[in-house]
Amino acid sequence: MTETRKPIPFVDLARQHADIEADVMAAIRGVATEAAFIRGPALGAFENSFAALHDARHGIGVNSGTDALALAVRALGIGPGDEVVTVPNTWISTAFAVSHAGATPVFCDIDPDTYQMDPAALERVITPRTKAVIPVHMFGHPAPMTAIEKICRARGISIIEDVAQAPLTRVDGRLVGTIGDIGCFSFYPSKNLGGYGDGGMALTSDDALAARLRQLSNYGQNEPHRHQEIGFNSRLDTLQAAILLAKLPYLESWTAARRKAAALYDERLADLPVKRPVAAPGAEPVYHLYVIEVENRDACLAYLRDNAVMAQVHYHGVIHLQECYGDLGYRPGDFPVAERAQEHILSLPIYPQITERQIDQVVGTLAEFTSGKAR
Ligand SMILES: Cc1ncc(COP(=O)(O)O)c(C=O)c1O
Site to substitute for ligand 1 among 62, 86, 91, 217, most atoms within 8 A of C-beta: 91
Among 3.10.180.10, 3.40.50.1110, 3.40.640.10, 3.40.1280.10, name the CATH number for the domain at 15-249.
Answer: 3.40.640.10
Domain boundaries, the chain: 15-249, 250-370
Using the mean position of ligand 1's atoms as its centre, give its distance from the Cα of residue 164 in Å.
5
In tens, the pLDDT along 233-284 reads 999 999 999 999 999 999 999 999 999 999 999 999 999 999 999 999 999 9
pTM above 0.95, yes or no: yes
The reply to whether 15-249 and 250-370 are identical in fold is no
Site to substitute for ligand 1 among 69, 86, 92, 93, most atoms within 8 A of C-beta: 93
| Ligand 1 atom closest to residue 187's alpha carbon, by position in its atom list | 10
| CB neighbours of residue 219 within 10 Å | 17
**pLDDT number for residue 1:** 47
**pLDDT number for residue 5:** 83
Using the mean position of ligand 1's atoms as its centre, give its distance from the Cα of residue 3 in Å.
37
Q: Is the peptide bond before 219 cis (omega within 30 degrees of 0)?
A: no
Q: Are 313 and 291 in contact (CB under 8 A)?
A: no
**pLDDT number for residue 220:** 97
Round the average pLDDT of the chain to a whole number and report it. 97
Using the mean position of ligand 1's atoms as its centre, give its distance from the Cα of residue 163 in Å.
9
In tens, the pLDDT along 85-103 reads 999 999 999 999 999 999 9
Distance CA 345, CA 235 (A): 35
Residues touching ligand 1 (Cβ under 6 Å) are 64-66, 90-91, 93-94, 136, 162, 164-165, 186, 188, 198, 200
In tens, the pLDDT along 294-307 reads 999 999 999 999 99
DSSP-derived secondary structure for 55-117: T-SEEEEES-HHHHHHHHHHHTT--TT-EEEE-TTS-THHHHHHHHTT-EEEE--B-TTT-SB
Among 1.20.210.10, 1.20.140.10, 3.90.1150.10, 3.30.930.10, name the CATH number for the domain at 250-370.
Answer: 3.90.1150.10
